[in-house]
Structure 1
Amino acid sequence: MFQKVWGWIKGLFSRRKGGDVEVGTKWDEKTEILAKDEWDKLKKILSEHRVLLNEVEKAQEYHDGEFKILKRKPKRKDDPNHRLAPNYASLIIGMKSSYMLGIPIAYDVPKGILMQKKRNEDVPEEVFEQYKEEFMEVTEENDDHAVTMEAMNDGLIAGAATVLFYFNDNWDIKYQVYTFNECIPVVEGRELKQAIRTYKNEDGIECIEIYDSQAVTYLIKDEEQYKKDPSKKVNPAAHHLPVVPAAVFINGKKAKPHFSRIAQGVSELGPDVRSILDEYSRIVSDNANRMDVFCDPYLKLIGALPSTDDVDEMRRRRVIAMKAKQGDQADIGYIEYSQESGGIEAHATRILDDLFQTTSTPKIFKSEAVGNLSSVAIRQLYTPLDNEANEKETWLNKFIRQKVIVITMMLNVRNAVQAGIDPATLFSSEKPPDMPIYDWRWMYWDVKRNLPQNDKELAETLIKYKGTLSERTLLKQISYVEDVDEEMAQKRQEALDQPRVPLNNIDGYLDNLDAKIAGRSMDDDET
C-alpha cells in the first residue's frame, strides 16, 4: 500500500539530497560551503543583507508613518511648523493584502477527483479524510490566515518574508512569520536552499540559525568570528524533513537582474512612491502653515504708536480704538494676504491621483464609488488592482505550495514518531513504512479575492446557473461560505430533518429519504 506515493516522494527528495541526516551529526552540503574558511561565505551573505536593509528600513518607516516632514524645522523661530503626514503608505499595503487575502484561503482534499487518478489507486478513501482533518487542525492551531496575511504584508513592504516551521517538545507542528530583517532566504536558481535567521538574545549576543534541507545549525558571534552555540546540546539538530522547513513569499521580480543568492522581490513603497508621499505631506503641511498665518494677520498702525500693553489689551478685547496725534491721520487695520486656494487644491489632488495610479490602488473614496454599484462598475473600479493581483498570485501560490509541502512532510514525520518509527530514516528507507503516507498533491487550495459584491446580482446569477453548475461550484462563489463541504453537509442534514414533503422539490425529498433509510441500522432493537 502507498507504493506509488512513496516512489514519487523518494524520487523527489533523492534529487534534493535530503532526508538522510542523523541527529546532531551534520548539515547539508550547502551549509558545508558556508562553514568553510571560518564561515566566510556566511559573512558575505550577512554583509549583503545589511546593505539591502537600508532600502527596506526606509519602506518600513513610511509604512509606520515616519515621514521626512516630521523632522522639518521652521524657517524662522516664530514661524508655524505644522508637520502633517497622511499615512497613505499603510492604506496602500492594507488594500492590496486585504484584496488578495481578506477571505481566508480555502483548503480541500477532493476525494472524488483524487481517487480517479492512477497514482492514488492504492490509497484508501479514509486516508484522504484523515489527511485533511490533520492538515486543517495544524492550520487552525497556528492561525494560518493571520500568518499568511502577515507574510504578505511584510513581503509587500520589504520584498520578501519567510515562514519557519518546527516541532515543539510534544511534536506539535508550529510555524510563524519573520520579516526580511530577521530571516534571509537563500536560493539557488529559484529553489530555496537555506533560511538564515539572525537576531540578538537577551544578553545582546548576535545569534544565527541556519535552516537547510537536513538540520538546523545554531551559531553565535564571538567578537568578529562565528562559532557553534555551546548552549545547544545538539548542534546541528536534525529537523527530520527532506526539505528546508521554510516557505518564502517573494513580492514579484526586479526588472534589473541582481546576481545574489538572497531572494528578494520589489517593495510597494519604493523610492517612486515615497517621493509622492513626501510631496503630498509637504503640500498639506505648508497649507496648514499658510492658514495659520492668514488667520493671525499683522496689525497695521499708521499715525499712532500704542504701547505694548495697549496692543495686548486690544487683541484680548478684540476691539481696536486709537486716537491719532494732533494733525496726523491714523490708519489702522490688518495686513491681509489674499490668495485663491484653487491652485493648491488642484496640485494636491493631482499628486494624490498620481499616488493611487502609481500604486494601482482603487479610489474608493471618490464620489463614483458611492452608491449601489453594479458588478461591472465594481470590477472597473478594481481593475488596476486586479491586474496587479494576477501577477502577485503566481508568487503567492508558490508560497502556499511550499507551505503545504512542509506541513504535509511534518505530518508524515509526526505520524511516524507516533507509530514508533525512527523519523531519521523515514524518507531514506528502501520500502514504505507500515503507515499511511500523505502526498501534498492531494491538497487543493483556492485563493478568493476580496472583491465587493452586489449581492442582488450575485443571487440572480446563482439562480440562473442552478442545474447547470454543480452545487459545490455555486457555493464557492459566495464569499461568506468559508467551508463548502461543511455547508453542503449542513444542507443535507437540514433536508433529512425536513418534516414535510416540499411540493416544489419532491424528487430531492425522495433522494434524501433514501439516504436517511440507507443510514438506518437494520439490527433488531430487541436483540
Structure 2
Amino acid sequence: MIRVASGTEMTAQLLGELITKHKRIVTERYSILKNAYENKYKIMDQPDKPAYKPDNRIAVNFAKYIVDTMNGYFIGNPIKETHEDATVGEYLEYLDQYNDQDDNNAELSKICSIYGCGYEMYFVDDTGQIGITYVSPMESFIVYDDSILERPLFFIRYYKDADNIEHGSWSDSIIVQHFVNRGSYKWEDEPKRHGFDGVPAVEYMENAERLGIFESVLPIIDAYNKAISEKANDVDYFADAYLKVLGAELDEQALKDLRASRVINLEGDVGDVIIEFLAKPNGDETQEHLIDRLERLIFQISMVANISDENFGNSSGIALKYKLQSMSNLSKTKERKFISGMNQRYRLIFSNPLSDAPKDAWVGIHYKFTPNIPANLLEESQIAGNLAGITSEETQLMVLSIVDNVQKEIERKRMEMEGDTDDFSRGQGGDIIGNQPGVLEKETAATMEPA
C-alpha cells in the first residue's frame, strides 16, 4: 500500500515519485506472481549444465491450477444482486448487462487471487453511460492517506503506447487528468470533473494482507519443479547407461559391430571377461516420496482442494463438504472483501448525476454468492419447500441454484398465477362460470403458496 499525508496535492514531481515506488513493487513482487501464473518459474533460469549431462526443465503450473480452481469455485456462478426497490433492481441489471459485469467480476476475482488485490475504475463513456472496467495492479494503484481510516486520495494508471512512450491518468475525488512521460512527467490536458463523489476507483482484496492465493506456496512449487526435473534427468541417465567390458579389448570395428548386431561374443576365459552396464545409484523411491509430499503440501498450505485427485470424485454429501471446507473458508473471507468492494462500487456509481438510482440506494443492495459445486436440485427443492410458511418467498427462491434472478422469478410466478386464475374463471367462449360456487376460491387457495 502506498500512502501520503492527508491533504497532499498532486504535482508532476510527486506523480513521478509515486510511479517509481510502484514500479519497484511490480519488479520485486507482482512480476514474480505474474510469471508463476504464466508458467515461468525459477527452474527456467537456472545455469545450464554441461552438454554431456541431461538438463530437463519441467515446470508444473500449480499456480494457475490453484487460481483457476478457486476462481471457478468462488465466482463460477455469477453473483446475484437484488434490491427491495424494483426500479433500482432494474437499473442494477441494466448496468451489469451494459458493462458485462459477470465477466468483469470473474476477471477481477482472478486478478485478486494472483496478486492479492485488483482495481476497478469507473468513467462516463462516449454515449453518456457509466462504464466499469477492471485494472491489474501491474499498471495501476490507489494512493491512501496516512490516517487510520486509510482514505483513498488518488488513483493512478499508466501504460506504454506503440512507440514505447509512457502515458496515463490520475484522479482524485473531483478531477481526472492525463499525463505523459518523455524524460519527465508532464500534464497532457487540463483537468476535467469526473462526476463521481470520491476517487473513481475501488481496490478489491483477496484478504486483509493482500497476499496472492498461491504466494505462500511458491517456494514449494519451485522445489517440486526442481525435484521432478531431476527425476527426468535420472531417467535420461539410465537410458544412456554405459556398457562396461573388463578383460577384453575392443577395437573400433568391434564396437561398431556390437552396436549394429547387439550381440557380444568375446574370446577368453569365462571368469576373466566381465560385461555389464554401469549402474548409477537408484534414488527412485526417495524421489517419489519427496514429490508426493511436496504436492500434498502445495494443496494443504494453499488451502485449495485438488479436485483432480482420483479419490476426490468418489466423495459425496457431507464427505465432499469436509474436503471443500478449507476452500470454503477462503471463499468466505474473499466474499466479505468482495461485498465491501461492491458496496463502494455502487456508492460511487449512484453518486454520479447520470445514474438512474438514488445516491443512498446502494445500502439496500443484497448480494448472493453461490459456490460452484455440483448442485443437488432435489435437496435444494426440498429445503425450499420446507421453508414455506417460515421465510419469505424471496428467501425460498434464493435457495435454488437454478434461479438466477429472484425478483424476476417472483414476477413470472405471479403472472402465471394470475393467468391460471383468469383461465379458470372463464368457460368456453369466455363466459364467466357462475354455477360452481366455491370452486374459484378453492382453486386459488390450492395454487397460492404462503408468502
TM-score (norm 1): 0.73
Give the partner amino acid of 1:267: G
Distance 1:508 1:85 in 2: 69
Name the residue aligned to 1:175: 132
Secondary structure of 2:277's partner? strand
Name the residue aligned to 1:382: 324
Name the residue aligned to 1:393: 335
1:88 to 62, 66, 72: 62
Name the residue aligned to 1:446: 368
Please state if 1:49 is matched with 2:15: no
Alignment length, in residue pairs? 426
Name the residue aligned to 2:38: 64
Name the residue aligned to 1:475: 397
User: CA 1:46–1:344 in 2, change beyond 3 Å: closer, same or farther?
Assistant: same
1:275-303 deviations in Å (ceiling 9; x for gaps): 10010011111111111222332112223
Percent identity, please: 21
Please state if 1:267 is matched with 2:222: no
User: CA 1:438–1:268 in 2, change beyond 3 Å: closer, same or farther?
Assistant: closer
Give the partner amino acid of 2:18: I
TM-score (norm 2): 0.85
Name the residue aligned to 1:227: 186
Name the residue aligned to 2:163: 203
Distance 2:320 2:167 in 1: 49
Distance 1:343 1:500 in 2: 77
Distance 2:133 2:376 in 1: 36
User: CA 1:512–1:163 in 2, change beyond 3 Å: closer, same or farther?
Assistant: farther
Name the residue aligned to 1:306: 250
User: CA 1:340–1:47 in 2, change beyond 3 Å: closer, same or farther?
Assistant: closer
- 8 Å contact from structure 2 (residues 299, 306) kept in 1: yes
Deviation at 1:88, TM superposition (A): 0.5
Name the residue aligned to 1:158: 115
- 8 Å contact from structure 2 (residues 349, 355) kept in 1: no
Distance 2:272 2:382 in 1: 81
1:348-388 deviations in Å (ceiling 9; x for gaps): 111111111111111323444222511x2122111112222
Secondary structure of 1:370's partner? helix
Please state if 1:363 is matched with 2:311: no
Deviation at 1:103, TM superposition (A): 1.3
Aligned structure 1 segments of 4 or more residues deviating by more than 6 angstroms: 29-32, 435-438, 505-508
Distance 2:376 2:255 in 1: 63
Distance 2:250 2:388 in 1: 88
Name the residue aligned to 2:101: 144
Deviation at 1:157, TM superposition (A): 1.9
User: CA 1:414–1:494 in 2, change beyond 3 Å: closer, same or farther?
Assistant: closer
Distance 1:461 1:513 in 2: 19
Secondary structure of 2:169's partner? strand
Secondary structure of 2:131's partner? strand
1:246-305 deviations in Å (ceiling 9; x for gaps): 121123233xxxxxxxxxx223343x4211001001111111111122233211222333
Secondary structure of 1:176's partner? strand
1:112-127 equivalent positions in 2, closer than 5 A: none
Name the residue aligned to 2:429: none
Please state if 1:252 is matched with 2:207: yes
Distance 1:148 1:510 in 2: 42
Distance 1:184 1:146 in 2: 22
Deviation at 1:198, TM superposition (A): 1.2
Name the residue aligned to 1:429: none
Secondary structure of 2:314's partner? coil
Secondary structure of 2:305's partner? coil
- 8 Å contact from structure 1 (residues 171, 414) kept in 2: no
454-463 vs 474-483, which moves further: 454-463
Distance 1:275 1:487 in 2: 49
Distance 2:58 2:46 in 1: 11
In structure 2, the gaps of 5 or more residues are 426-438
446-455 vs 179-188, which moves further: 446-455
Distance 1:194 1:473 in 2: 40
Name the residue aligned to 1:97: 71
- 8 Å contact from structure 1 (residues 496, 513) kept in 2: no
1:312-331 equivalent positions in 2, closer than 5 A: 312-317=256-261, 319-324=262-267, 329-331=272-274
Name the residue aligned to 1:19: none
Secondary structure of 2:9's partner? helix
- 8 Å contact from structure 1 (residues 164, 177) kept in 2: yes
Distance 2:270 2:408 in 1: 97
User: CA 1:463–1:170 in 2, change beyond 3 Å: closer, same or farther?
Assistant: closer
Deviation at 1:462, TM superposition (A): 3.4
Deviation at 1:344, TM superposition (A): 1.7
1:398-413 equivalent positions in 2, closer than 5 A: 398-410=340-352, 412-413=353-354
Deviation at 1:106, TM superposition (A): 0.8
Distance 2:358 2:336 in 1: 31
Distance 2:441 2:38 in 1: 60
2:237 to 293, 297, 320: 293
Name the residue aligned to 1:284: 228
Name the residue aligned to 2:144: 187
298-307 vs 49-58, which moves further: 298-307
1:109 to 70, 77, 83: 83
Give the partner amino acid of 1:341: D
Name the residue aligned to 1:6: none
Distance 2:409 2:286 in 1: 56
- 8 Å contact from structure 2 (residues 15, 185) kept in 1: no
Distance 1:480 1:81 in 2: 52
- 8 Å contact from structure 1 (residues 495, 509) kept in 2: no
In structure 1, the gaps of 5 or more residues are 1-28, 112-127, 255-264, 416-434, 515-527
Secondary structure of 1:33's partner? coil
- 8 Å contact from structure 1 (residues 405, 440) kept in 2: yes
- 8 Å contact from structure 2 (residues 168, 178) kept in 1: yes
User: CA 1:325–1:475 in 2, change beyond 3 Å: closer, same or farther?
Assistant: same
Name the residue aligned to 1:17: none
Deviation at 1:183, TM superposition (A): 0.9
Deviation at 1:30, TM superposition (A): 7.4
User: CA 1:454–1:381 in 2, change beyond 3 Å: closer, same or farther?
Assistant: farther
Deviation at 1:456, TM superposition (A): 4.5
Name the residue aligned to 1:9: none
Deviation at 1:338, TM superposition (A): 5.9
- 8 Å contact from structure 1 (residues 84, 284) kept in 2: yes
Deviation at 1:345, TM superposition (A): 1.5
Name the residue aligned to 1:5: none
Please state if 1:214 is matched with 2:158: no
Please give the root-mean-square deviation of Cα atoms over the aligned residues, in Å: 3.1
